[in-house]
Amino acid sequence: MRASLTTTQLNISVLTFNNMTNLYANAFSFQVILANAGWIPDGEAVTIHLEPGIYRGPVTIKRNNVTLMGPTEGTAMFTGDLAGSEILPDGQKRGSFRTQTVFVDADHFKAINITFENSAGPGETASQALAIYSDGDDMYFENCRFLGFQDTVFTAPLPPEELVSGGFRGPKEMAPRRPGRQCFIDCYIEGTVDFIFGGAVSYFKNCEIFSKLRPDDKVGYITAASTPKEQHYGYVFDECTFTGDAKPGSVYLGRPWRNFAHVAVLNSYLGEVIHPDHWHDWNKPDAHSTVKYFEFNNRGPGAATTLPDFARFLSEDEAREYVQDKVLSHPLPPTDNSLPKLR
């Protein structure tokens, strides 16, 4: 059950030790801190200790070396309700990348005991609705919850080329595509369609991946990776639990947002919600020879003994290449500074 949340009166306390600034804030003073962080020296690590409460988005964090620390799981929540289907005053749809409750555009970011939510509703009405847009390197989430439906968690960068006109409209539409590494430990992530997506190297350890029920027996998709061709790793799920209240056999582990999607699921429990085929090609036969959909040592009623011809099981030696240290320490490809190709 979700904890009951309240807000308290404005209060900011500051404590500095070991070259780290510690700020103590509630739902009111948090925005004050973000707006007035210039007094903290550049490069100095900042930890913001959050009191229990509801922190209203959208929130943008563009400073490196920031840690958000919640008191206990579920009691400090960032929430918003921006929906991709919303028509804006200029007549355009808001689209995916202007819906995020929290936008982190920085390196060395950490969040511990934090809930990120987009409450816009199911994709059938709200379309895309991001709880977090996470763009940076050395990003770490521990004991966090990510709540939403479609496109809950975006692990940037964006792909270099749009497939649909206006599809990238948002804060990084024209920015260089800079690879990054992200780590999720003991987290809960929920959604219905493509609810973990993007191009980052992302390692998920001991996380619960919860697929929510869709109307009319529609199928669901967990990942929609857009792994850059030159990148050695994509998404790695190790010792995770794939559960949900979706119809049994209705949820795919992933489909390729771009043709070099790379996802590995290892040592994990696959619940009965997982589709017998496990992987979907998004009707892209040309991706069969380029995607990397790998599995190793999975168990549970959704585990499989055979996979589609564009996915395969790893050997023990191959699986050793997907341990946390190797995944997150492997060098990244260079930033793509060419202009994104927009339609």
pLDDT in tens, 240-289: 999 999 999 999 999 999 999 999 999 999 999 999 999 999 999 999 99
Average pLDDT of the residues in 195-217:
97
Residue-level pLDDT at 1: 28
Rounded to whole angstroms, the Cα distance separating 119 from 107 reads: 27
Q: How far apart are CA 300 and CA 172, in angstroms?
A: 40
The pLDDT, as a whole number, for residue 318 is 98
- Within 8 A by CB and 6+ apart from 217, the residues are 247, 250
Work out the pLDDT band at 3, boundaries 50, 70, 90: very low
Is 249 in contact with 276 (CB distance < 8 Å)? yes
Of 17, 19, 15, nearest to 44 by C-alpha is: 19
Q: What integer pLDDT is reported at residue 284 of this predicted model? A: 98
Q: What is the mean pLDDT of the chain?
A: 92
Identify the pLDDT of residue 19.
59
Of the candidates 306, 305, 240, 307, which has an alpha carbon nearest to the alpha carbon of residue 270? 240
Give the other-Cβ count within 10 Å of 15's Cβ: 11
Split at pLDDT 50, 70, 90, the class of 8 is very low
| pLDDT at residue 116 greater than cutoff 80 | yes
Select which of 135, 151, 238, 281 is catalytic.
Answer: 151
Reading the block at residue 278, the tokens are 């496990």
Cα gap 102→257, rounded to integer Å: 22
pLDDT-derived band at 41 (thresholds 50, 70, 90) equals confident
Tell me whether residue 194 is one of the annotated catalytic residues.
Answer: yes
In this prediction, residue 306 carries a pLDDT of 97
Q: Which candidate, 287, 341, 328, 343, places its Cα nearest to that of 177?
A: 341
Residue tagged active-site, from 81, 90, 186, 194: 194
Other beta carbons within 10 Å of 341? 10
Domains observed in the chain: 13-329 (2.160.20.10)
In this prediction, residue 12 carries a pLDDT of 45
* 201 and 180 Cβ atoms separated by less than 8 Å: yes
Q: For the segment 299-310, what is each residue's pLDDT rounded down to a tens digit?
A: 999 999 999 999
Does pLDDT of 4 surpass 70? no
CB atoms near residue 28 (< 10 Å): 16
Rounded to two decimals, what is the model's pTM? 0.94
pLDDT per residue over 224-240, tens digit each? Answer: 999 999 999 999 999 99
What pLDDT score was predicted for residue 13? 52
Question: What average pLDDT does range 65-76 have in this prediction?
Answer: 90
Q: Residue 111 phi/psi, 5° resolution?
A: -135, 130
Residue 284 CB: number of other CB atoms within 10 A?
A: 17
What is the pLDDT confidence band of residue 28, given thresholds at 50, 70 and 90? confident
- Residue 9 confidence (pLDDT) above 50: no
pLDDT at 217: 84
Q: What are the C-alpha distances in Å from 201 to residues 158, 183, 204? A: 13, 8, 10
Q: To the nearest whole percent, how much of the chain has pLDDT over 70? A: 94
Q: How far is CA 33 from CA 6, 37, 212, 251, 332, in A?
A: 19, 6, 35, 41, 33
Query: Would the pLDDT of 6 be above 50?
Result: no
pLDDT score recorded for residue 27: 82
pLDDT at 341: 83
More confident residue, 120 or 342: 120
State the average pLDDT over residues 129-140.
98
Tell me how far apart the alpha carbons of residues 148 and 57 are, in angstroms, rounded to a whole number.
14
| Residue 105 falls in the annotated catalytic set | no
pLDDT tops 70 at residue 36:
yes
Please report, for residues 113, 215, 252, the alpha-carbon distance to residue 302 in angstroms, rounded to integers and kept in the order given.
30, 21, 10
Say how many CA atoms lie within 13 Å of 290 toward its Cβ.
19
